[in-house]
């Protein structure tokens, strides 16, 4: 393994250790000594990678935001098909990488937690998935694949379901993720008029 690869592995170990501890104990409840111990490194080496705990927290938030901002290359036949394909892709990725489900829980916590510095809470809240999905719901209502109703309410319902499922999967990975069609079914327009 090259030196650069070793550095990336260590950085990943630190990030995973911090994520787990922040979820278990909160930001202020987590000590840097705990992070270094869980990562299997010295505290001095931890500070070499992340000079402060706040910088490490910000790195985790940026990783979460990167995942939320990642352009989704989906060629959907309808508005509903977009949500189906996205959900199926998300669940498949979460099964391959349990860190994804934990990041959903983490990002939700960061936005709500009072022990997170205000600047970082605002950063975490800078991507609004509910508002982002608005145009997809509207497109589905126009093509008849998504039920009529308040667009923001429907988008919110979908994302609340996704966040809840990801949270439960992070806590209990032995319970399989549901079929994407079950989740997307709540958006489906069942009327044939």
What is the residue extent of each domain of the chain? Answer: 1-51, 62-193
Architecture of domain 1-51: Orthogonal Bundle (1.10)
d(CA 25, CA 68): 24
Kindly write down the DSSP assignment for every residue of 10-24, as one continuous string. Answer: HHHHHHHHHHHHHHH
d(CA 145, CA 176): 27
Q: Quick one: pLDDT at residue 62?
A: 93
Q: Quick one: pLDDT at residue 98?
A: 85
Domains 1-51 and 62-193 agree in fold: no
Element of type H or E holding 68: helix 53-69
Written as tens digits, the pLDDT of the chain (193 aa) is 898 888 999 999 999 999 999 999 999 999 999 999 999 999 999 999 999 999 999 999 999 888 776 556 778 889 999 999 999 999 999 999 888 999 988 998 898 888 899 999 999 988 888 888 899 999 999 999 999 999 999 999 999 999 999 999 998 999 999 999 999 999 999 875 4
Tokens of 114: 């009072």
At the top level of CATH, the class of 62-193 is mainly alpha
pTM of the model: 0.82
């Amino acid at each position: 393994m090259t030196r650069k690869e070793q550095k990336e592995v260590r950085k990943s170990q630190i990030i995973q250790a911090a994520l787990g501890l922040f979820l278990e104990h909160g930001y202020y409840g987590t000590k840097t000594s705990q992070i270094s111990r869980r990562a299997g490194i010295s505290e001095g080496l931890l500070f070499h990678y992340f000079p402060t705990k706040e910088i490490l927290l910000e790195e985790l938030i940026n990783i979460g935001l990167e995942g939320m901002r990642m352009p989704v290359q989906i060629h959907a036949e309808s508005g509903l098909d977009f949500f189906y394909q996205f959900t199926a892709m998300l669940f498949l990725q979460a099964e391959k990488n349990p860190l994804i489900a934990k990041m959903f829980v983490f990002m939700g916590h960061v936005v709500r937690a009072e022990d997170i510095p205000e600047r970082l809470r605002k950063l975490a809240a800078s991507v609004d998935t509910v508002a982002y999905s608005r145009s997809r719901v509207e497109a589905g209502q126009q093509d008849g694949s998504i039920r009529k109703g308040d667009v923001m309410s429907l988008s919110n319902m979908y994302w609340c379901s996704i966040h809840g499922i990801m949270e439960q999967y992070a806590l209990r990975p032995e319970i399989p993720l549901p079929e994407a069609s079950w989740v997307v079914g709540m958006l489906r327009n069942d009327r044939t008029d």
